[in-house]
């Protein structure tokens, strides 16, 4: 297979996997190295390197989902209405770990001051930068047979997350990627027609 076909195969293997367990097919060190590699080699707007990542395994991962459950339970304030959310969060807790993606707002503000012309763009580009890190790690995890799904319980969990893991005030939580052994792979996916979604000119 060509490099491109290899890359495309890896891209196809990346799916949202929700039925996860804590039986990782690779070591925790390999996951940590994957994150280090993503931090170094993923592009960022203006080479700002604004992405910050926290990896939670085992008890720390469980703690995140305890925090999320408690926070949402307090908001919903009704056990019956909360039952399906509780079950969903239990599914995340059953996984092996969670990667927390942050963007350092101090870096964003410095860029805004240095290049005022783009001031309103930098927060958006920081989100794009985070998304690139998310994608490369999601695909990287899939390549190692580690299932993952992407969650967004920020901002309601932000304060407790910062308190619990001593996160810098300037780090803004963007997304949570749950990962683990694959209990059940993702089902089929529906695709909207490619021709409605792209145009080619001058070929």
Ligand X SMILES: Cc1cc2nc3c(=O)[nH]c(=O)nc-3n(C[C@H](O)[C@H](O)[C@H](O)COP(=O)(O)O)c2cc1C
Counting contacts by CB under 6 A, is residue 19 touching ligand X?
no
Counting contacts by CB under 6 A, is residue 149 touching ligand X?
yes
Range 59-88, binding ligand X (CB under 6 A)? none
Say how many C-beta atoms besides its own lie within 10 A of residue 179's C-beta: 26
| Cα 196 from Cα 132, distance rounded (Å) | 24
Counting contacts by CB under 6 A, is residue 151 touching ligand X?
yes
Say how many C-beta atoms besides its own lie within 10 A of residue 139's C-beta: 17
Counting contacts by CB under 6 A, is residue 51 touching ligand X?
no
Span interacting with ligand X, options 64-72, 91-99, 149-157, 193-201, rule CB under 6 A: 149-157
Residues 6+ apart with CB under 8 A from 45: 111, 122, 125, 126, 128, 129
Span interacting with ligand X, options 1-9, 101-109, 121-129, 146-154, rule CB under 6 A: 146-154
- Work out which of 21, 150, 154, 156 binds ligand X, going by CB under 6 A: 150
Is 129 in contact with 52 (CB distance < 8 Å)?
no
Gap between the terminal Cα atoms of the chain: 26
Interaction site with ligand X (CB under 6 A)? 15-16, 149-152, 186, 189
């Amino acid at each position: 297979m060509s490099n491109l076909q290899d890359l495309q195969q890896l891209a196809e293997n990346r799916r949202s996997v929700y039925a996860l367990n804590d039986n990782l097919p690779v070591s925790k060190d390999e996951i940590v190295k994957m994150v280090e590699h993503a931090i170094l080699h993923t592009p960022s707007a203006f080479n700002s390197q604004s992405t910050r990542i926290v990896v939670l395994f085992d008890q720390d991962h469980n703690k995140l989902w305890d925090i999320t459950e408690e926070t949402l339970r307090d908001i919903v304030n009704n056990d019956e209405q909360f039952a399906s959310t509780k079950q969903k969060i239990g599914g995340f807790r059953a996984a092996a770990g969670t990667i927390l993606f942050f963007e350092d707002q101090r870096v964003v503000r410095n860029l805004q001051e240095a290049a005022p012309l783009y001031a309103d763009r930098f927060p958006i580009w920081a989100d794009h930068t985070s998304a690139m890190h998310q994608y490369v790690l999601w695909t990287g995890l899939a390549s190692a047979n580690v299932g993952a799904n992407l969650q967004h319980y920020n901002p309601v969990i932000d304060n407790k997350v910062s308190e619990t893991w001593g996160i810098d005030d300037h780090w803004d939580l963007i997304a949570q990627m749950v990962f683990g052994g694959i209990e059940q792979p993702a089902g089929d996916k529906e695709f909207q027609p490619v021709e409605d979604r792209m145009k080619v000119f001058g070929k």
